Amino acid sequence: MRILGLDVGEKTIGVAVSDELGWTAQGIETIRRSSKEKDFGRIEEWIATYQVQALVVGLPKNMNGTIGPKGEYCQAFAEQLKERTGLPVHLWDERLTTMAAEKMLISADVSRQKRKKVIDKMAAVLILQGYMDANSR
């Protein structure tokens, strides 16, 4: 069963997909947001390409565990995605994933310009991998 992981931001959406066994996550794209219709259309293309059966959307919580405006936006996005696709959509706490992705890219000596292009895709990988690791126990 393949799962699609999404790091939803205002300007971009990082996309990652699991292998068929649900063990590893690979980044596949950073979608540059243009319109809701195009954004959902691109996600639906990935769902069809990989025959995805579930989705995981990063939920940016505040450090104290509360949900702010960005979290509410991601919850609404996840609900719309569920309605459009008919697939189960899981929210996953994404606190510090972008920071962790940034640190990983810096330690790999990736230039600042290249980091900007892949940071959201990398964050989607961390969100999806965290979800799969927690649910494999």
pLDDT in tens, 2-44: 999 999 999 999 999 999 998 999 999 999 999 999 999 999 9
pTM score = 0.88
Domain residues for the domain of 110 are: 2-136
- Do 8 and 56 meet the contact criterion of CB atoms below 8 Å apart? no
CATH number at residue 92: 3.30.420.140
Bridge partner residues of 61 (DSSP):
67
pLDDT digits (tens, 9 = 90+) for 66-93: 888 999 999 999 999 999 999 999 999 8
Looking at residue 31, its amino acid is I
- Do 27 and 16 meet the contact criterion of CB atoms below 8 Å apart? yes
Q: What 8-state DSSP symbol labels residue 31?
A: E
Reported for 63-67, long-range contacts at CB under 8 A and 24+ positions apart, including other chains, are: 63/95
Q: How many domains does the chain have?
A: 1
The highest-confidence range among 97-101, 105-109, 124-128, by mean pLDDT, is 124-128
